[in-house]
Amino acid sequence: MSTDRGEIETPIFMPVGTKAAVKTLSPADLNDTGTQIILGNTYHLYLRPGQELIHDFGGIHKFMNWNKPVLTDSGGYQVFSLKDFRKIDEQGVSFQSHLDGSRHRFTPASVLDIQRSLGSDIMMVLDECAPYPSEREYALKSNELTLKWAREAREIYEDWSPLYGFRQQLFGIVQGSTFKDLRENSAAELIKMDFPGYAVGGLAVGEPKEIMYEITDFCTDILPVEKPRYLMGVGMPEDIIESIDRGIDMFDCVIPTRNARNGTIFSRNGKMVLKSARFREDQKPIDGECSCYTCRNFSRGYIRHLYNTNEMLGLRLATIHNVHFYLWLVQQARKNILNDTFADWKQKILSEITSTITE
């Protein structure tokens, strides 16, 4: 994948930097983990610090001092999660801030305008993410609305001029809940609009894993292989491998960062609840083969002590490791795809990473 802020090797995982920071990490930390692109949340940035402020600072890259690519979502997912505090109509969605109850409105045009101020390298169209489970009728109407909004966004984007001298791409989002004909219609209509990349949205919202994999597979069979295909909000390490196998190129998820702060660690040898007392005396690194700053310098016992004594350093060290691991995982997938050894590697790595480390 190519952006004005550099090439991105796919498949890629994007750490989530909700409010112009990947929680606990500095840009230097992110570079050390091998991060190539991060995700920012339009909804949160719109509320704090606000579109104008980031505009004044020259965009999100300058604001947070991150020079590599940024993808921003449309804010739709967060707004639709507000449930009782938002109201959808044909033209957009009105909502109340989760912070202070103040009233706001997102439209296909306004979220693009915000993302223009943010200056993200990849922007997303406003969509409605139907909940799971959805009735067919609801999913159909929702899908039609999402397509209408995608057309409006695509039209605005036709004469796009970015603010800060770096091109901005715009991705479409396939919706349609768990209904294959709706997914097919959604993908076909978006392909006609010719976006530079396509996301699969509306998954990882509570449906069984098999359905997630099936719909993902179904969508990637339709979406053009020569363009990036992005599975939004996924997921656990095993989900990422399964989805790469089904043709997905891009991922974002809070799991590696959130779980790190909760004390759960991923590694090539499996998962571990590092804040558990069982690791109190453990002088080994999290993963002796891992090359991240945390594994090169600290023991499980020390990090467990930091959790136990509420020292923030522990959250950061764990986050560095988890993000590094996710980036390592997608790099390994890439290598094995290029070497034509993906199937064997997948079988081996899945059994390793899904085990639980107890000593």
- Residue pair 185/212 in contact (Cβ under 8 Å)? The answer is no
Question: Residues 29, 127, 249, 252: which is the catalytic one?
Answer: 252
In the complex, what is the shortest distance from the CB of residue 23 to a second copy, in angstroms, rounded to a whole number? 7
In the complex, what is the shortest distance from the CB of residue 36 to a second copy, in angstroms, rounded to a whole number? 19
- CA 241 to chain centroid, in Å, comes to 15
Q: Is 64 in the site for a second copy (CB under 8 A)?
A: yes
In the residue annotation, 127 being an active-site residue is answered as no
Q: What CA–CA distance (Å, rounded) separates 10 from 132?
A: 29
- Residue 30 vs 130, nearer CB to a second copy: 30
| x-or-dash string of contact with a second copy, 24-43, rule CB under 8 A | xxxxx---------------
- Residue 19 vs 271, nearer CB to a second copy: 19
Q: Is 157 in the site for a second copy (CB under 8 A)?
A: no
- Residue pair 171/126 in contact (Cβ under 8 Å)? The answer is no
- Residue 181 vs 281, nearer CB to a second copy: 281
Q: Is 279 in the site for a second copy (CB under 8 A)?
A: no
Q: What is the DSSP string of 36-105?
A: --EEE-HHHHHHTT-HHHHHHTTSHHHHHT--S-EEE--SHHHHHTTGGGEEE-SS-EEEE-TTT--EEE
In the complex, what is the shortest distance from the CB of residue 21 to a second copy, in angstroms, rounded to a whole number? 5
In the residue annotation, 252 being an active-site residue is answered as yes
In the complex, what is the shortest distance from the CB of residue 275 to a second copy, in angstroms, rounded to a whole number? 13
Q: Is 20 in the site for a second copy (CB under 8 A)?
A: yes
Q: What CA–CA distance (Å, rounded) separates 150 from 348?
A: 40
Judged by CB under 8 A, the residue of 180, 209, 280, 348 near a second copy is 280
Judged by CB under 8 A, the residue of 116, 154, 183, 316 near a second copy is 316
> What is the token pair recorded at 5?
């802020």
Judged by CB under 8 A, the residue of 2, 6, 7, 65 near a second copy is 65
**CA contacts within 13 A on the Cβ side of 180:** 10
Q: What CA–CA distance (Å, rounded) separates 154 from 148?
A: 10
Q: How would you classify the pairing of strands 93-96 and 86-88? A: antiparallel
> What is the token pair recorded at 57?
């600072």
In the complex, what is the shortest distance from the CB of residue 80 to a second copy, in angstroms, rounded to a whole number? 22
> What is the token pair recorded at 133?
């489970």
Q: Would you please indicate which residues are annotated as catalytic (active-site) residues?
A: 73, 252
Give residues in contact with a second copy (CB under 8 A): 19-21, 23-28, 44, 48-49, 53, 56-57, 63-65, 280-281, 283, 293, 297-299, 301-302, 305-306, 308-309, 311-317
